[in-house]
Structure 1
């Protein structure tokens, strides 16, 4: 099948929703996604056996209790509980690995991403697309600081050669073969937003404006955003290691110029007395060395985690309605 051929078969759909302490937002999320799923089934855009898969990432509140209750009331709801909190990206991968449908759409439980894009994504799949990215075209709801840091992050990633869709988080559609391609990436330090473009296959974008959070608190404070950025950079590019080499060359070059300057001043009898310049040089070179060691240590740490080949997650419990068995 080529991109020019429409897919004539009606696909089955799984909506994967990672959840961490989403007690306040869960009921709203369930009702909205349930209506969206029901509407698509009525319009015969997806198969009746399509479902929503909630992944509890070791929540400390009653999120899992609500998920279990929803599976008893709604035949289209399934739930997976991880043995402990593993982070958003790992929880998402856990949910994706349990999906068994033609099409998988991932979305966060806060529903800040526009669910009205889901029918458009399904339509683009029918037109031959294997990957459909949900892309924000308006960041006016973000603070100035968040807009500046986000734009700076995407700019930096692009400069380092990382193939990443700007202003795209984890709201996307994956066909069965695209999902299988993603699951073939076995590394522990997995930055999904950067790996999906590496999978290839025909892709498209759906643009939307992100809304404010309905309930609860954001699970991505600045600390976690910074950690995610570091994960993305060190998982997908060795550019920082190359920058260390450039920085070392520039430092040596500046030191050479400084040495020439001192020799010339000494030759003309204008030797500089005091220790200030020496102290500045020592502190500067010491800081550069520590920075370089830190970057190298980050990569060595990732190698250390990879060679252990530990499982990314363990599933404690999995539930679904008896009607869907």
Structure 2
């Protein structure tokens, strides 16, 4: 029995690049079906993450013109991780394995063939890992490497230079969906599943159209989310910092009292102002870090849904096995793109 594959593609304001993306993925899917690598009812599932452009209209057109294309529309922007989870929850019902890939196709889709080979060899999780980061700026490259090293040092198992381009078996996807965090850091949770895994290396391309959905502000937020989701190291650091401050304060107090007993004048304005600013800054930072953890608890205890599906657009049901007519496919494709 052939493998039923679903390619989940989260989309947020991607109307500029979607036509090329769909053409590339349709060609790849068709080639793999013809080569009998995957089943004929394998699918592409686009998830519109609350875009305010024509992304959903484009996806609807795809699902009308191509039997192998389906779509989900979320009621608002739930973020990249929420869109991935929505796609996984729908796809896992009738798929043997699921590949997640971003709509800009900077991650090389031809590598999916290698993913399927690894899956057929018994691997439940296959990570797409970048060989190098030449397309990144100097700042992004080194901050990313620092992030991976820091997370691993803190005990969080992350696959370096891996984002969200991966294959999950049906079993692995089901177990992932059993994690009920409201704010889920998928890159950190997948290694926790413990299933057999392997890596496939590839060269990342430059984005051909549209703008990156991960500017510096979002990358920093994403890093903080990952850190606070898996480690209490920042709180332990605050404790250590407080103990060091207490020791330093004790030494300064003894020094000041000894100078006073000896009758020597203590010039204190400068040292007092410096101490006030340093301690004040440390206190604000400490309160903020603790506040982040309290905020996460606040969000988790509400048990709000991680995503809300507004519309589903399927050309036919997932549970129907429909053989492709290659001539009809070619005619539809030519009509749509020309």
Contact 2:183–2:306 (CA under 8 A) maintained in structure 1: no
How many Å apart are 1:114 and its aligned residue? Answer: 0.8
How far off is 1:269 after superposition? 3.5
Asked if 1:68 is matched to 2:60, the reply is yes
Between 203-212 and 152-161, report the one with greater CA deviation: 152-161
CA distance in 1, matches of 2:196, 2:228: 27
Checking the alignment, whether the CA contact within 8 Å between 1:96 and 1:104 is kept in structure 2 is yes
* TM-score, length basis structure 1: 0.95
1:141–1:210 contact (8 Å) kept in structure 2: yes
Task: After the TM superposition, list the runs of 4 or more consecutive aligned residues in structure 1 that deviate by more than 4 angstroms.
Answer: none
What whole-Å deviation, never above 9, does each CA across 1:67-94 have from its counterpart, x for those lacking one? 0000111000000000011111111111
1:295 and 1:169 map into 2 onto residues whose CA distance is 25
1:125 to 101, 119, 128: 119
- The secondary structure found in structure 2 opposite 1:319 is strand
Measure, in 2, the Cα distance between the counterparts of 1:225 and 1:250: 31
Determine the C-alpha separation between the residues in 2 that align with 1:165 and 1:171.
12
Are 1:242 and 2:232 counterparts? no
Partner of 1:311: 305
Q: Distance in 2 between matches of 1:323 and 1:169?
A: 30
Q: Paired residue for 1:252?
A: 246
* Structure 1 residue 28 displacement after superposition: 0.5
**Could you say which residue in structure 2 is the equivalent of 1:81?**
73
CA-atom RMSD, angstroms? 1.2
Matching residue of 2:285: 291
The answer as to whether partners of 1:54 and 1:67 remain within 8 angstroms in 2 is yes
C-alpha deviation, 1:191, in angstroms: 0.5
How far did 1:320 drift?
Answer: 1.2
1:323: how far off?
7.5
Superposed CA deviations along residues 262-303 of structure 1, whole A, max 9, x for unmatched, are 233334433322411112112211111111110110000010
**Shift of residue 62 of structure 1?**
0.4
Q: Secondary structure of 1:116's partner? A: helix
Cα displacement (A) at 1:24: 0.6
Deviations 1:50-74 (A, max 9, x none): 0000000011110100100001110
What is the CA–CA distance in structure 2 between the aligned matches of 1:206 and 1:305, rounded to whole Å? 36
* 2:193 matched residue in structure 1: 199
Match of 2:25 in 1: 33
Residue number among 86, 100, 111 corresponding to 2:105 in the alignment: 111
5+ unaligned residues in a row in structure 2: which ranges?
A: 321-338
Q: TM-score, normalised by structure 2?
A: 0.91
Is 2:266 the counterpart of 1:272? Answer: yes
The number of equivalent residue pairs is 317
Q: Aligned to 2:131, what secondary structure does the other structure show?
A: strand
